[in-house]
Structure 1
Amino acid sequence: MQSSPSRKAHSQKLSSTRTRSARWSSCPTSWTATAPVTYCRGTGTHLSNKANAALLGNAAAPAGMLNDAGITDGGALGDNLDALSAAVWGIAEAGANADYILAAPSAMADLAALKAGTGSNVPLMAEPVLYGLPVHVTNAMPADSILVGSTTAVVSAAGQVRVARSNDYAFNRDAVAIRVDFRSGWTVVHGNRLVRISTAA
């Protein structure tokens, strides 16, 4: 029977990060009230991407999922899906169910190139789903890397992207100052429920 993360594990303190982005606008201070929000949509997306990259690849304080000491090295993908199968069942042995796969764009290209057999043009992966698990492509993953994981491996929290504006701070530049804040935190509680696989030749 699948075990769930212990109450003690869930009570661990989340390490947190804070990302701030401040930009000068070249637009005049006669902007409408909604204009800064429109301007910052791209900044908000940028912050979300940075947060995803930190969650996966932060070196330390806190370490990202891919740098956790307990993560399993699933080896190289090769020319079949055996490494992915081993990852899924390895997570089951660790007391959980694998429920997602993350792939770098380059790794997804390698997965899509796998064929059903020698000389065949039939792909092993007709859709972005493997072993019933959705494959999410993200630039936050290092090149040629796949992560098979269980959502029970990590406890995380994230706030909303907050946008603040000031017509006064940049008054002498005839501009509006905009500040964007985002907070997130995570703790890997079951590193053995994460498996990293390489598609590098």
Structure 2
Amino acid sequence: MMNFIAILFVDYLVYGPWRDPEGFNFPLSIQFPDYARMGFLTGQASYEGLIMLIIFAALVYAIMQYTTVGFEFRVVGESPEVARHSGISYAKTLLLGGLISGGLAGVAGFTVVSGLIGRLRPRASPGYGYTAIIVAFLATLNPWLIIPAGIFFGGLLVAGDVIQSTLDLPFAAVQIFQSVIFLFIIMGEFAKRYRIVIRFR
């Protein structure tokens, strides 16, 4: 639900007060100045994005492994009932987790808008948030494994552009491939948790 609120709020900004007066009435903000763009320090937005990824992965790992808040996150995630009986506030932990994850998603959105596009526009993300769910599952919720998993799926998205131009295939082919990967991840988790027993009478 909050996704749609954020999307509509961005639409309000780019169709309203933040619209570029010289943008021929397109719903775009003004071009960001160089100092507000990623790559201003190193000259390459991808370098700075990778540095930010490593920093935030280390930060999340430290929080989850070495702090009380991280312990509460793990307990609530594994068993809400155990968390309640242990005196951990389920609602408070859920809200705090949502705020932190939303902040991290905002940082990711900043890298897209500031590093790739250079201005604010509607629907700047073609579904990166949903791709991130698959990345998290592929990384088994390990912050360090998020890095190679994210790079892998980033390569898939870039490959989608190449596929469209060279093989004349729709971008949906990449989305199907992502879905197949997600399906196999779910099947693997099912196989780890459950055992199929066939009994003959």
TM-score (ref. length: structure 2):
0.24
TM-score (ref. length: structure 1):
0.24
Q: Which has the higher contact order (CA 8 A, sep 6+)?
A: 1
- Higher relative helix content: 2
